[in-house]
């Protein structure tokens, strides 16, 4: 039985949202740390596992999509909209937040459909499964990447979509600190 309540989130339940959000930011931060280790190895001349490095980047993007759903739900139901408004207000999240970008969220939620479309198009040139390095700008027909990370720009590219990683990582870090503060202050928003 659903209880109609004008409260966006009942105060004793706030801690569950905080813990859920912390779980996502912890995962993202672990992947950021692992990505940084890979970048350190790469820039010191050591080899890295490109699949693993790209997995770290893609996992960070996936976590950003998960966080986005908490703050901007797809559902128009009042219960979800009220929860999202309460969380945005509690954590000072504005509409210029990089997590609001639907491109990031849709990448996560509709990856399979985007892959279908990407592969169904007639593509001139070469499709490269993975690339880690600098963006080459002098090629007449640039390659298409399934997954690429341009280390000189901090940009993740997949299926012709590009995501600047730094604003997403910075926002996740700031949110993580806010979530921890809320939890440590009694689990209230």
Based on the number of CB atoms within 10 Å of its own CB, is 162 exposed (0-12), middle (13-18) or buried (19 or more)?
middle
pLDDT of residue 6: 60
**DSSP letter for each residue of 30-74:** HHHHHHHHHHHHHHTT----HHHHHHHHHHHHHHHHHHHHHHS-S
Torsion, CA 7, CA 173, CA 22, CA 16, rounded to 10? -10
Tens digits of residue pLDDT in 154-168: 999 998 889 999 999
Tens digits of residue pLDDT in 102-139: 888 888 788 999 889 888 886 677 888 999 999 888 77
d(CA 112, CA 134): 27
pLDDT of residue 122: 65
d(CA 98, CA 88): 13
Closest C-alpha to 159, from 150, 143, 146:
146
Backbone angles phi and psi of 127, in degrees to 5: -100, 125
pLDDT of residue 120: 87
pLDDT of residue 3: 47
Q: What is the pTM of this model?
A: 0.90
pLDDT of residue 108: 78
Tens digits of residue pLDDT in 23-64: 999 999 999 999 999 999 999 999 899 999 999 999 999 999
| Residue range 91-96: mean pLDDT, rounded | 96
């Amino acid at each position: 039985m659903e209880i109609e309540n004008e409260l966006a989130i009942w105060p004793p339940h706030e801690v569950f949202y905080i813990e859920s959000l912390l779980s996502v930011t912890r995962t993202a931060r672990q992947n950021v740390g692992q990505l940084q280790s890979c970048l350190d190895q790469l820039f010191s001349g050591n080899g890295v596992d490109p699949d693993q490095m790209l997995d770290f980047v893609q996992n960070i993007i996936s976590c950003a999509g998960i966080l986005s759903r908490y703050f901007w739900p797809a559902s128009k139901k009042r219960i979800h909209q009220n929860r999202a408004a309460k969380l945005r207000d509690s954590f000072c999240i504005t509409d210029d937040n990089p997590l609001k970008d639907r491109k990031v969220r849709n990448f996560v939620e509709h990856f399979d459909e985007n892959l279908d479309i990407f592969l169904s198009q007639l593509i001139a040139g070469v499709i490269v499964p993975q690339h880690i390095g600098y963006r080459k700008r002098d090629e007449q027909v640039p390659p298409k990447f399934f997954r690429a990370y341009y280390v000189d720009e901090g940009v993740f590219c997949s299926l012709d979509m590009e995501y600047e990683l730094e604003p997403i990582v910075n926002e996740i870090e700031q949110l993580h600190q806010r979530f921890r503060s809320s939890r440590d202050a009694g689990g209230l928003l």
